[in-house]
Structure 1
């Protein structure tokens, strides 16, 4: 069973340790779903849905939780592993503390377009072609990393 970390302990973890996280690169009909972040880090940028892996939570359970919390769906398929990426931010949800993620990217291909997507982490959602997101200044550079290398792209 996964646990929430009380705020003061979580602040210490963010300050002194990398966080293990998962991003779901969600695709429908050759377009990628990105949401405009409402929290730090990456505030104001379009980003994939994702989150940290909690203590005693498997990657599979974390994927299911993130899909439910951030996309509003029950995960019925196994997302395809893209790779491990490092994300370094000068800020975090805490004042004057940077964030370091060891991020595991997963491709989630949908068979239908999503409606009524939760807006706790992202305020606006938009579907981007890969070309559009690669050329947009509003899309965070770490999202673009998922599409830079041929072996990471969909076939």
Structure 2
């Protein structure tokens, strides 16, 4: 049985070993419409139960452009036409993962993506979605601190 969509190319026990001993390269798609940011409530560890950006890991031999296209389709239900704007490299460290007693380390590539007012979003990785203003997400205890870092460290508002 495979646990994650992203791990479908790697046997489960091998993927567990990778997470235990190596950082994962991931992409966060910071989906924005006008002055709002789309966040989904995570259904998996790490960051279970928090509102978080959409995204996921880059698979072996997958280009970043192809990973972004796959993740935009999988997590937002859209076909990616233009490459999103790169905003920076971030590190995410978690005490947990999809496996018991295994921590997770991501080298995360953040990209800002302008989107229409999306509806009927996929529910595989997020149980619900919400549009936040930057001020709202910075104040909310339901939004993960790593999401807030995008807006504290770099100005990625709609006009940039």
- TM-score range (shorter-chain normalised) is over 0.9
Q: Deviations over 1:50-80 (max 9, x none)?
A: 1000000000000000000000000011100
Of 113, 116, 119, 2:117 maps to: 113
Aligned-partner Cα distance in 1 for 2:65–2:95: 29
**Cα distance between partner residues in 2 of 1:17 and 1:150:** 27
Q: Secondary structure at the match of 1:138?
A: coil
Q: How many angstroms apart in 1 are the aligned matches of 2:148 and 2:111?
A: 14
Consecutive unaligned residues of structure 1, counting only runs of 5 or more, are none
**Separation in 1, partners of 2:121, 2:154:** 30
**Structure 2 regions of 5+ residues with no counterpart?**
1-7
- Closer, same or farther in 2 for the Cα pair 1:99/1:150, shift >3 Å? closer
TM-score normalised to structure 2 length: 0.92
Question: What's the TM-score, normalizing by structure 1?
Answer: 0.95
How far the C-alpha of 1:101 sits from its partner, in A, is 0.2
| 3-state SS of 2:83 partner | coil
Q: CA deviation at 1:29?
A: 1.4
Tell me how large the CA RMSD over aligned residues is.
1.4
Instruction: Tell me which of 105, 122, 128 is aligned to 2:126.
Output: 122
